[in-house]
């Protein structure tokens, strides 16, 4: 009689304990997800796949409202690009003093989809 009570009490204790254990476990499952999201967020400004390249060319068009510049550029070895004409985004300070027809040397950052001109110098 006493043994049965003890057994029942122990079972209740075990069930109670395992019930307690489940809560932190459920939290553990969510933690890596949150960490992965934080990692992706911190990687957003500069994904690992970004490449830098240097080139020279002629300014074909500037759109200050959109913050873009079209360059008729020569081959860019770092990106394995042939010569072509294409558009880039560029901050106003990068384009200050630059006008259409200028021969320029420039640095670009390419994320695999689009490029941004990070520096530009007018050639003498």
Q: Closest-CB residue for Cu ion? A: 86
Nearer residue to Cu ion within complex by CB, 55 or 95: 55
Nearer residue to Cu ion within complex by CB, 82 or 124: 82
Q: Is 36 in the site for Cu ion (CB under 5 A)?
A: no
Burial of 53: CB neighbours in 10 Å, binned 0-12, 13-18, 19+: middle
Q: Is 84 in the site for Cu ion (CB under 5 A)?
A: yes
Question: Of these, 56, 70, 86, 105, which contacts Cu ion (CB under 5 A)?
Answer: 86
Of 93, 87, 91, 83, nearest to 115 by C-alpha is 87
3-state secondary structure of 5: helix
Q: Is 9 in the site for Cu ion (CB under 5 A)?
A: no
Q: Is 100 in the site for Cu ion (CB under 5 A)?
A: no
CA 79, 82, 83: angle at the middle one, nearest 5?
120
| Backbone φ, ψ for residue 68 (5° rounding) | -130, 155
Fill in the per-residue mask, 43 to 82: x = in contact with Cu ion (CB under 5 A), - = not in contact: --------------------------------------x-
CB 64 within 8 A of CB 92: yes
Where on the chain is the footprint of Cu ion (CB under 5 A)? 81, 84, 86
């Amino acid at each position: 009689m006493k043994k049965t009570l003890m057994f029942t009490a122990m079972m209740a204790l075990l069930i109670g304990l395992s019930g307690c254990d489940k809560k932190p476990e459920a939290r553990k499952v969510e933690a890596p997800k949150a960490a992965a999201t934080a990692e992706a967020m911190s990687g957003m400004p500069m994904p690992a796949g970004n490449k830098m390249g240097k080139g020279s060319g002629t300014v074909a068009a500037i759109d200050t409202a959109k913050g873009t510049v079209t360059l008729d550029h020569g081959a860019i070895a770092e990106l394995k690009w042939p010569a072509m004409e294409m558009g880039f985004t560029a901050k106003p300070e990068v384009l200050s003093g630059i006008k259409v027809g200028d021969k320029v040397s420039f640095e670009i950052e390419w994320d695999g989809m689009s490029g941004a001109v990070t520096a530009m110098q007018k050639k003498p």
